[in-house]
Amino acid sequence: MISYINIHTHKPEYQNIELIDLATGIIWDLRWTYSFGLHPWNIETSDIDSDLDKIEKLIEEKKIVAIGEAGIDRVIQTNIDLQKQVFMEQVSISEQFKIPIIIHCVKAWADLSEIRKQTKAKTPWIYHGFTGNLHTAQQIRLDGNYLSFGKALLLNPKVQDVFASFPIEKIFLETDDSDEKIETIYEKASELRGISLVELKESIYSNYITLFGKSHIIIDS
């Protein structure tokens, strides 16, 4: 059978297919798949130019398959114009190398949607840990992007309703920084969609192949 896919994690288990956030200090290893980006929480303490250069270098060395987390967070005190500037730099890199972005979005969907239109970005973004409403979800889809659902899918009725009605070809699942097992999230997702676990895994596998190709594909025993 097809492997589980964990599209965003800070706590890798080093099995299945995991897109591991390299920015958490994890050591890169050829056997696994990574993302790296300038998180809005870290902008004020980062050497921005150096980190932007690092993103490009990691892409050129084929050490990452996605940029992120990157995005906008309107809850933190970091200047919003600076956040937008840094994010737009990462969008530019994403478009140059045709590499997706793992999106961190807190109360900033309208900002991100406007930037996507302004930059005429075509490469898909993955809004990770989605907890928004159906209207926002639909607009994200219309912008050509994906949603990833994590721990909130287990307990939050609003998130469950959005997940159950969202096109399956635009969905991923994740553990983020939680201690939940990706298998547990898949089982709940299967229940909410009213489909078998095998069918769900095949659908998300197809989404992964669409974005990333057949790198690091693991088959369950």
Name the CATH superfamily for 5-212: Metal-dependent hydrolases (3.20.20.140)
pLDDT at 212: 93
Closest by CA position to 146, among listed 160, 167, 162, 125? 125
Q: Which whole-number Å values give the CA distances from 81 to 51, 68, 85, 89, 139, in the listed order? A: 18, 19, 6, 12, 23
pLDDT in tens, 108-138: 999 999 999 999 999 999 999 999 999 999 9
CA 158 vs. chain centroid, Å, equals 20
Q: Residue 47: what residue type?
A: D
pTM above 0.85, yes or no: yes
From the number of C-beta atoms within 10 Å of its C-beta (0-12, 13-18, 19+), residue 119 rates as middle
pLDDT in tens, 41-73: 999 999 999 999 999 999 999 999 999 999 999
pLDDT in tens, 168-188: 999 999 999 999 999 999 999
pLDDT at 221: 35
Average pLDDT over residues 80-105: 98
pLDDT at 219: 47
Residue percentage of the chain with pLDDT more than 90: 92
Residues 33 and 106: their CA atoms lie apart, in Å, by 25
